């Protein structure tokens, strides 16, 4: 049985945060909590050039537009989080371009979070197509390696291919001796 994981843009949270921000007074100071905070890791509040949205209809329009934009650029994900190999190069896996997607997609897999060591680069998958086996560019060591998977949707704009949307997930690629 193929399990799937779907991630969608958490717009509801963003909308709630926007609505909560509307009720605050302009330039209001954030509430302090009793826990000490490392201020070098805190993003400050904009003070100049900002105002409070006062028109509820305009806010509703902005939220609706944000939802529509997210629906147009959301990537439905469908994959198994683990892949398995006996030789470190050929892996049994499941990574799909979900039928829910509207655009073709290609997949890149990297062994590092800096995206320097490319393990795999696919050609385009149509919605509904999946990889069940992959051959990597080089061998992974025995054990489990956390890999970084870039899923990139492509659309045709003025006769040329262009990136429509992109998202990243991690997977565990496990190598065990036979």
pLDDT tens digits for range 106-120? 999 999 989 999 999
Q: pLDDT class for 66, splitting at 50, 70, 90?
A: low
Q: Is residue 29 part of a domain?
A: yes
Residue range of the domain that includes 133: 77-175
Under the phi-then-psi rule, with left for phi > 0, alpha for psi from -120 to 50, and beta for the rest, what region is 158?
Answer: left
pLDDT recorded at residue 148:
96
Does 110 share its domain with 170? yes
Does 81 share its domain with 168? yes
Cα 83 vs. chain centroid, distance in angstroms? Answer: 19
Q: Is residue 60 part of a domain?
A: yes
pLDDT above 60: residue 175: yes
Q: Is residue 1 part of a domain?
A: no
Element containing residue 121 per DSSP (H, E): strand 118-121
Mean pLDDT for 34-58 is: 70
**Start-end of H helices in the chain:** 11-22, 56-73
Q: Is residue 2 part of a domain?
A: no
Does 88 share its domain with 169? yes
Look at residues 174, 169, 178, 161 and name the one whose alpha carbon lies nearest to residue 4: 169
């Amino acid at each position: 049985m193929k399990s799937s994981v779907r991630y969608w843009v958490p717009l509801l949270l963003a909308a709630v945060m926007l609505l909560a921000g509307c009720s605050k007074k302009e330039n209001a100071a954030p509430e302090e909590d009793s826990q000490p905070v490392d201020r070098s890791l805190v993003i400050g509040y904009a003070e100049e050039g900002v105002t409070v949205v006062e028109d509820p209809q305009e806010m509703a329009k902005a939220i609706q537009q944000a939802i529509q934009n997210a629906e147009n650029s959301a990537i439905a994900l469908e994959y198994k989080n683990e892949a398995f190999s006996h030789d470190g190069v050929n892996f049994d896996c499941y990574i799909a371009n979900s039928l829910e997607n509207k655009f073709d997609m290609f997949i890149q897999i990297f062994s590092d979070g800096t995206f320097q060591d490319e393990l795999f680069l696919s050609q385009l998958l149509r919605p509904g197509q999946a990889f069940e086996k992959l051959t990597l560019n080089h061998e992974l060591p025995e054990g489990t390696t956390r890999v970084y998977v870039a899923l990139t949707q492509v659309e045709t704009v003025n006769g040329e291919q262009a990136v429509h949307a992109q998202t990243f997930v991690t997977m565990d690629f496990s190598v065990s001796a036979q």
